[in-house]
A and B are shown apart, each in its own frame.
Chain A
Amino acid sequence: MSEDFAQQIREKARELLEKGEVTCVIGYETGTDGRTARPAFIYDAADADRLVFDNTCTHNLAKYLLNKKGQPTAVVVKACDARALNLLLGEKQIKREEFFAIGVVCPGVVESGWMRQGETLQLRCQGCTEHTPPLYDFLVGEPAEEPAPEPSYEDVAEIEGMELEGRTEFWAKQFERCIRCYGCRQVCPGCFCIDCFAELLDPEWVGIRIAPPEKQMWNLIRAFHLTGRCIGCRECERVCPVNIPLSLLNRKMEKEVLRLFGFKAGMSPEALMPLATYSKEDKLGIGE
């Protein structure tokens, strides 16, 4: 299957480049460990054979379109990545006519990393509720007819169920390891501010220290800035060099947004995310 997908992607890439419809195709190729994928930028139809698609294609390539403004670019997207395209379209960061989405009906990717191609599907794939990208110009794979199961928030509920001291201790222990490398931010398609709040010096919201109060504030506010916007690719968690379970924060907010507003980010480019709008009839358990 993955060889067939790779073939289709290569053919499409070759076609788009030869016809001059795009100047670059962003896809996946095999990395230097010989077994896991990494992002690939193909500018020449002759190089299209480098493109692969396998179960280590975890990267969310949608964000790279932000570096290709004004240049027609094709990008290979799984269903989760395509939600990022909708997010970026809705927030006017990319123009629909400037990209060509090669959607892939992805069966899931495994836990992977340098020299590591896991056996089990990533947790986000295990809980995936739609495998067909909500946005594409060309589809690789058959669109799946599937019932939409309820998303599971078991691990979020586990933390919610802890006593306050337990929760505090848990997060203090996790944030202690944080080195503010901003890997989470740089890989996230929802984080594209030119000047991130964490690095502003005037006004200085966080400060430069790599210390517990700053680390708590950094992670807290990043999760809040993604509330109603996070599309659940969980790349932040994958790239963290010290294994902080960052997606717990984002999915806690995903759960709240679903509960209070019935909203799921990235399903359409027009949908306004809950914090960008309001209803006079909101009953949210606050201010009453």
Chain B
Amino acid sequence: MSNNQPRIVGFLCNWCSYAGADMAGTSRMAYPPNIRIIRVPCSGRVDPLFIAKCFQRGADGVLVAGCHPGDCHYVEGNYYSRRRFALLRELLDFIGIERERLRLEWVSAAEGKRFKEVISSFSDEVTKLGPRKDL
């Protein structure tokens, strides 16, 4: 975290949440600039290794966003990611990376406003958590 600006990495699924973020952008909605977005085909493609690599390299927070359960473009990918990240958060918290630093959200392609709200609230929360204690 430099100048109190958290560094957040976002893994956004191509079909829903990335499109939602796109919509936020084209609608000129203002949201914090400290997220770096990586587009993936599905939230279920997000390997815990990606998350851990982000934290290893000093990220303050990681957001994984996918389609709403039931609406996954690949039918079931987001069900897997829900289980995966529920468990990963616990392990991260256990070793000293607060569970609030990893967030899983469902954002659909039409939810530009929701994306702005998600990233704003996540950025606020991570800022409040302060710099990483385990580094």
A and B, direct touch (CB closer than 8 Å): yes
- A→B interface (CB under 8 Å): 159-160, 164-165, 167-169, 171-172, 197, 205-206, 213-214, 216-217, 219-221, 223-224, 227-228, 249, 252-253, 256-257, 260, 274-275, 278-280, 282, 284-287
Please give me the 5 A-B residue pairs with the lowest Cβ-Cβ distance, nearest first: A168-B96, A278-B79, A284-B86, A287-B104, A286-B86
Q: Which residue of chain A is the closest to B135 with respect to CB atoms?
A: A213
Q: Which residue of chain B is the closest to A248 with respect to CB atoms?
A: B94
Q: Are A167 and B96 in contact (CB under 8 A)?
A: yes
Q: Are A171 and B56 in contact (CB under 8 A)?
A: no
B-side contacts of A275, CB under 8 Å: 80, 83-84, 87
B73: Cβ under 8 A from any A Cβ? no
Q: Are A220 and B92 in contact (CB under 8 A)?
A: yes
B-side contacts of A253, CB under 8 Å: 87, 90-91
B-side contacts of A228, CB under 8 Å: 87
Q: Are A227 and B87 in contact (CB under 8 A)?
A: yes
Q: Are A249 and B95 in contact (CB under 8 A)?
A: yes
Residues 41-62 of B contacting A (Cβ, < 8 Å): 48-49, 52-53, 55-56
- Would you give 19 A-B contacts (Cβ < 8 Å), ordered by A? A159-B94, A165-B133, A168-B96, A205-B52, A216-B56, A216-B95, A216-B134, A217-B53, A219-B95, A220-B52, A221-B48, A221-B49, A223-B91, A249-B91, A249-B94, A257-B87, A280-B79, A285-B86, A286-B86
Q: Are B80 and A167 in contact (CB under 8 A)?
A: no
B-side contacts of A285, CB under 8 Å: 86
Q: Are B56 and A217 in contact (CB under 8 A)?
A: yes
Known: A252-B91, A253-B90, A282-B82. A224 touches B98 (CB 8 A): no
Q: Given A167-B96, A221-B48, A253-B91, 12 more contacts at CB 8 Å?
A: A168-B96, A171-B96, A171-B134, A213-B135, A220-B95, A249-B91, A252-B94, A274-B83, A284-B83, A286-B85, A287-B82, A287-B106
B-side contacts of A282, CB under 8 Å: 79, 82-83
Q: Are B82 and A286 in contact (CB under 8 A)?
A: yes
A-side contacts of B135, CB under 8 Å: 213
Q: Which residue of chain A is the closest to B85 with respect to CB atoms?
A: A286
Known: A221-B52, A287-B105. A171 touches B95 (CB 8 A): yes
Q: Kindly provide the distance from the CB of A217 to the nearest chain B CB, expressed in whole angstroms.
A: 5
B-side contacts of A172, CB under 8 Å: 96, 134
Kindly state the separation between the CA atoms of A212 and B19 in the bound complex, as whole angstroms: 38
Kindly state the separation between the CA atoms of A256 and B91 in the bound complex, as whole angstroms: 9
Q: Kindly provide the distance from the CB of A246 to the nearest chain B CB, expressed in whole angstroms.
A: 12
Q: Are A168 and B133 in contact (CB under 8 A)?
A: yes
Q: Are A278 and B87 in contact (CB under 8 A)?
A: no
B39: Cβ under 8 A from any A Cβ? no
Kindly state the separation between the CA atoms of A43 and B84 in the bound complex, as whole angstroms: 44
Q: Which residue of chain B is the closest to A279 with respect to CB atoms?
A: B79
Q: Are A160 and B94 in contact (CB under 8 A)?
A: yes
Q: Are A168 and B134 in contact (CB under 8 A)?
A: yes
Q: Kindly provide the distance from the CB of B116 to the nearest chain A CB, expressed in whole angstroms.
A: 18
Kindly state the separation between the CA atoms of A165 and B130 in the bound complex, as whole angstroms: 13
Q: Are B49 and A205 in contact (CB under 8 A)?
A: yes
Kindly state the separation between the CA atoms of A185 and B41 in the bound complex, as whole angstroms: 31
